[in-house]
């Protein structure tokens, strides 16, 4: 039976004043192509029941995590989504309690880190005095014997769509990929099935990927779906 993957989305107000949720199609497509059934969270009711019924949690990209969650400074942050921060924080705890797999992408990885007590650099340029251009491919280094190392080797190319980065690492997490200038690019939990990457692998899959750089990232989603099927 195919695993059901709970996918988080952001919310925004339309020109007509209505609140709508949004989630890029590439997120759900990556899950479907890897053998999972994507289920996008529409609201914050029945979260415990959703956590019971879903086999895994998939945290997608989006707005900056509100810096008040990690005692950060708002001066260099972009627009936050408080509703989503609370939703994902609650879901992470619920899925951790059930020891079900969690996969975070970009903001999703940062949300995992913050929920587990870590912090972020609010802006790479201002906080680290580094250039990390948006939408410019770059090389990451994988930790030896990690899944990323087995699939893609010691070094591989990824896309980049972020201006923030992990600062203090959250409880139980370890770094499994990084850039030449030591920006954290992937983390894994030491005892729970939790994994996160800073790049956007859903845009690096299929015959016509949105960002045609680096290796095909379908392995990440297939591995996640396999873990979810066993949960």
Catalytic residue at 200? yes
- CA angle, corner 144, sides to 121 and 195, nearest 5? 50
User: Residue 22: exposed, middle, or buried by beta-carbon count in 10 A (0-12, 13-18, 19+)?
Assistant: exposed
**Residue linked to tokens 């007509």:** 16
**What 3 state SS string does 26-46 have?**
HHHHHHHHCCCEEEECCCCCC
Catalytic residue at 77? no
| Rounded-to-integer distance, Cα 198 and Cα 175, Å | 11
Q: Catalytic pick from 141, 162, 202, 225?
A: 202
φ, ψ at 93 (rounded to 5°): -65, -40
Catalytic residue at 86? no
Dump pLDDT digits (tens) for 138-148. Answer: 999 999 999 99
Q: Catalytic pick from 141, 200, 225, 228?
A: 200
Residue 3 near residue 55 (C-beta atoms within 8 A): yes
Q: Catalytic pick from 23, 106, 225, 228?
A: 106
| Rounded-to-integer distance, Cα 209 and Cα 216, Å | 9
Dump pLDDT digits (tens) for 76-98. Answer: 898 889 999 999 999 999 999 99
Predicted TM-score of the model (pTM): 0.96
- Residue 134 clears pLDDT 80, i.e. is over it: no
């Amino acid at each position: 039976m195919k695993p059901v993957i709970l996918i988080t989305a952001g919310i925004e107000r339309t020109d007509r004043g209505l609140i709508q949720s949004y989630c890029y199609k590439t997120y759900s497509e990556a899950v479907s192509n890897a053998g999972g059934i994507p289920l996008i969270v529409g609201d914050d009711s029945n979260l415990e029941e959703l956590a019971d019924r879903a086999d895994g949690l998939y945290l997608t990209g989006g707005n900056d995590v509100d810096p008040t969650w990690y005692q950060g400074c708002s001066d260099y942050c972009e627009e936050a989504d408080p509703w989503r921060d609370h939703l994902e924080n609650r879901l992470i705890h619920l899925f951790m309690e059930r020891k079900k797999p969690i996969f975070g992408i970009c903001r999703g990885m940062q949300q995992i880190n913050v929920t587990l007590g870590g912090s972020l650099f609010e802006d790479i340029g201002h906080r680290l005095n580094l250039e990390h251009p948006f939408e410019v491919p770059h090389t990451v280094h994988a930790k030896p014997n990690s899944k990323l190392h087995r699939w893609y080797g010691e070094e591989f190319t990824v896309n980049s769509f972020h201006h923030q980065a992990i600062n203090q690492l959250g409880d139980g997490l370890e770094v499994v990929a990084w850039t030449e200038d030591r920006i954290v690019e992937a983390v894994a939990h030491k005892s729970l099935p939790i994994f996160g990457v800073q790049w956007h692998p859903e845009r690096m899959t299929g015959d016509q990927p949105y960002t045609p750089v680096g290796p095909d990232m379908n392995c990440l989603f297939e591995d996640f779906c396999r873990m979810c099927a066993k949960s």
